Structure 1
Amino acid sequence: MHHRQINLHLVSDSTGETLNSIARATLARFDDHHVTHHRWSLVRSRLQLDRVLEGIEHEPGPVLYTLVDSSLRLALEQTCGRLGVTCVAPLDPVMEMLQGTIGARAKEKRAAQHVMDADYFRRIDAMHYVLSHDDGQGTQGIRDADVVLVGVSRSSKTPTCFYLANRGIKAANIPLVPGAALPEALDSSPCPVIGLHIEVNALIDIRRHRLKIIGASGVRQDATDYIDPEAVKAEIVAARRLCTSRGWPVIDVTRRSIEETAATILQLMESWHARRKDAAAAAAPQDPAAAVLGQAPDPGR
């Protein structure tokens, strides 16, 4: 089947991250597509928009846009209509639904999700935390973590922590190295500890690639324990048994993307906090008057 080349224009008055995510998520469902992305970000004046319109006219193709300014929206829609090009504002249906439910009009505010508010600084703080608590660093600060990830070397702990930091989550990670002691803080961790598991062959491939990148001169790739199949298998089994003995949940990351792993971690964190809350409520002292105030008489009397 012939797949024709198309141009996809993403027009935003902000960074364009939202449109990039929408395009990536939808195009992933097409097995074989030939799409040239034209990203137009920070479009906030008519002069800037005119350059966008020239680009669309020169290389016509469907347009996705997030523009707050009504005059810019109108100019873009009119030009697309004249060129016979499809023009869609993907956030409009969601915005209309929320306005109807909330009962208030949305403010015309550009880049509202990128304002430097408390949430923004929380994400920056989380990023600094990950940098200083990566790969077993700064173990004395583990008690300040929101979550701790453990796993063998090259099991995607670091990239997952950075992804979580972008969500404002302080994530520390500890490598599980054969014969190495774990930080004492993990014995009574005040936050969830989650293990990352990966299959043997996948881990060996990743480690071989790592050795190739760093140019591990003098390291025999067929002999070092780092990539020896039996040694790697023993390392993974030991890590899995450790997590089981400690009651730490384990996520198999072999065929998961970083985003999928992070989503599962967030679910496990919610479950952990819910159990803690239930346990605290059950252990709380009962009010002696609760049996009589506002309740039916004790049937035993």
Structure 2
Amino acid sequence: MPSHHIVLHLASDATGQTLDSLVRASVAQFSHADVTYHRWNLLRTRSQLRRALEGIAQDPGPVLSSVVDPRLRHELTVGCGHIGVRLINVLDPVTNVLQDELGEAAIARPGGQYVMDDAYFRRIDAMHFVLAHDDGQEMGGLSHADVVLVGVSRASKTPTSFYLANCGVKAANVPLIPNLPLPGELEHLSRPVVGLTIDPDVLIGIRRHRLDVMADRRMDLVMRNNPYVDPEQVEEEVRWARRVCARHGWPLVDVSQRSIEETSAAVMEVIAQWEERHRP
């Protein structure tokens, strides 16, 4: 089946992240969608909205909007009507339900989710924590972590840690290296430890790509014969790391076919289960 091309306009009065997440999840359900995106973010004034409408008119297509200001919403509705494109206010279904259930009107504040509250500062603190405790740094601070990720090199420990930090989770990560003893701080840690494991073939592909980026042409042959990407050694390395996790009772999350977001969700589920078991 050939791809079907469409144009989508995403109109937001804030960063546009809500629309991006919604559209990615929706478009992913279609195998043959070829989508051109036009993003119109931080629409806070009528002049900004009019420039967006001019852009929509130049390349017409459905408009998905998370604009909440009533006056701007009205102008966007009228403008889309004149252009002849569909407009969907994506927040309305949820907002209407909440208004009915809570018995109060929504305040229609643009970017209302982006406030410098306690949750915001927790995310900032978590970012600093990840920077200080990445790849086995500052082992003495592991007891302050919300979770410690362990795994072989290139098993997505660092990117997962940073994604978790953006969710307000203080994540440290420690590499598991064959023939080296585990850091003593891990042995009796009273914090959840999660092992990230990966299919050896997938890991070799990631490591080869890493070497390609790092090595110049003269070193290419040497780097490709490196034990770091030797199939037998990589397979044994992954098996060894799994045994280490099993011996310590650390749950495993397989990252082979998971995105960073999916891996982080699985880790957060492990954290929740650990906290439930250790609740006073």
Q: Which residue of 1 aligns with 2:48?
A: 48
| Matching residue of 1:257 | 259
Which residue identity is paired with 2:271? M
| Distance apart, 1:4 and its partner CA | 4.1
1:221, distance to aligned residue in structure 2 (A): 3.7
Secondary structure, aligned partner of 2:149: strand
Query: Structure 2 stretches of 5 or more lacking a match?
Result: none
Rounded to whole Å, the distance in 1 between the matches of 2:111 and 2:181 is 47
Residues 2 and 32, structure 2, Cα contact 8 Å, conserved in 1: no
- Residue ranges of structure 1 left out of the alignment (5+ in a row): 281-301
Q: Which secondary structure state, in structure 1, belongs to the residue aligned with residue 33 of structure 2?
A: coil
How many residue pairs end up in the alignment? Answer: 278
2:198 aligned partner, one-letter code: I
Give the corresponding residue for 1:130. 130
Q: SS state of the match for residue 222, structure 2? A: coil
Kindly provide the amino acid, as one letter, of the partner of residue 31 in structure 1: S
List per-residue Cα deviations over 1:179-213 (Å, max 9, x = no partner).
22222221221210000111111111111110000
Structure-2 change in CA distance of 1:222 and 1:213 (3 Å): closer
Distance 1:155 1:162 in 2: 14
User: Quick one: which amino acid aligns to residue 85 of structure 1?
Assistant: V
- CA gap of 1:166–1:5, structure 2 versus 1, over 3 A, is same
Which letter does structure 2 place at the counterpart of 1:228?
A: D
| 3-state SS of 1:114 partner | coil
Q: Give the counterpart letter for 1:183 in structure 2.
A: P
3-state secondary structure, aligned to 1:64: strand
Query: Structure 1 counterpart of 2:121, which letter?
Result: F
Q: Deviations over 1:66-101 (max 9, x none)?
A: 112111100111121222211001111101111111
Counterpart for residue 273 of structure 1: 275
Aligned-residue sequence identity (percent) comes to 51
- Residue 155 of structure 2 is matched in structure 1 by 155
CA distance in 2, matches of 1:152, 1:2: 41
Whole-angstrom CA distance in 1 between matches of 2:30 and 2:223: 38
How many Å separate the matches in 1 of 2:197 and 2:261?
16
Q: Secondary structure at the match of 1:149?
A: strand
Q: What is the alpha-carbon distance in structure 1 between the residues aligned to residue 61 and residue 200 of structure 2?
A: 45
Aligned positions of 1:102-251 closer than 5 A: 102-215=102-215, 218=219, 220-251=222-253
- Deviation of residue 256 (structure 1)? 0.8
Q: Quick one: distance in 1 between partners of 2:130 and 2:17?
A: 23
Distance (whole Å) between structure 1 residues aligned to residue 255 and residue 4 of structure 2: 36
Q: CA deviation at 1:226?
A: 0.5
The answer to whether the 8 A contact 2:211-2:224 is kept is no
SS in 2 for 1:115: coil
Cα-to-partner distance string for 1:117-145 (whole Å, 9 max, x where unaligned): 11111101101111111111111111110
Q: Give per-residue Cα distances to partners, 1:10-52, cap 9 Å, x unaligned.
A: 0111011101111111111111212110000011111111101
Aligned residue for 1:289?
none
Calculate the aligned-residue CA RMSD, in Å.
1.3
Q: For the Cα contact (< 8 Å) 2:142–2:148, is it kept in 1?
A: yes
Shift of 1:223: 3.1
Amino acid at match of 1:246: H
Shift of 1:2: 4.5
